[in-house]
């Protein structure tokens, strides 16, 4: 399989700089063979891609793109902890929080933005367990937040 960063380049993407935390935490922590990321917001070049609630001002398509950016930021956090993305053996778990209007029920489709990117980048190793959760509000009024857990070797 191609190196994950080559796959990203083929998608017209690259691993971004790790965003500075917005509070008292670190972007990722390694324990044994696992790396767990903090919740990643849809920041690109220091700016949120969108703000607000999905289903009330933020479209499902915009939220999908936000989830994809969150996953890209999570990949960056993992890389900052292990140095080389080729060391990722498996994406174990993804949790996607979606700031939703009360009647929005498409959280799984929004979370696909993260899941599909991880599958493209890591191939079979990118297939993971996942939770997609609707919440009333997220930090900085972001519409989506994603955290991941990966096994490394």
| Residue 22: predicted pLDDT | 84
CATH classification of the domain holding 50: 3.30.1330.40
Domain that holds residue 17: 4-152
Domains identified in the chain, total number: 1
Q: How is residue 105 written in tokens?
A: 């029920």
What is the full per-residue pLDDT of the chain (153 aa) written as tens digits?
799 999 999 999 999 999 888 899 999 999 999 999 999 999 999 999 999 999 999 999 999 999 999 999 999 999 999 999 999 999 999 999 999 999 999 999 999 999 999 999 999 999 999 999 999 999 999 999 999 999 999
Q: How many helices (H) and strands (E) would you count in the chain?
A: 3, 9
Cα 78 to chain centroid distance, Å, stands at 11
**Which distant-in-sequence residues (6+ apart) come within 8 Å of 36 by Cβ?**
28, 29, 147, 148, 149
| Residue 20: predicted pLDDT | 84
Q: How is residue 79 written in tokens?
A: 């890389």
| Residue 95: predicted pLDDT | 98
Q: How far apart are CA 57 and CA 100, in angstroms?
A: 10
């Amino acid at each position: 399989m191609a190196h994950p960063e080559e796959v990203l380049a083929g998608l017209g993407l690259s691993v971004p700089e790790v965003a500075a935390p917005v509070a008292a935490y670190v972007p990722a922590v390694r324990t044994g063979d696992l790396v767990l990321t903090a919740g990643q917001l849809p920041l690109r070049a220091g700016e949120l891609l969108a703000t607000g609630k999905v289903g009330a001002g933020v479209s499902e398509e915009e939220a999908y793109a936000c989830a994809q950016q969150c996953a890209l930021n999570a990949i960056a956090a993992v890389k900052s902890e292990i140095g080389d993305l080729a060391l990722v053996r498996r994406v174990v778990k993804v949790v996607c929080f979606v700031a939703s209007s009360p009647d929005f029920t498409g959280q799984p489709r929004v979370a696909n933005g993260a899941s599909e990117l991880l599958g493209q980048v890591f191939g079979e190793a990118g297939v993971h367990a996942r939770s997609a959760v609707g919440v009333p509000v997220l930090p900085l009024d972001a519409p989506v937040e994603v955290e991941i857990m990966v096994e490394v070797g």
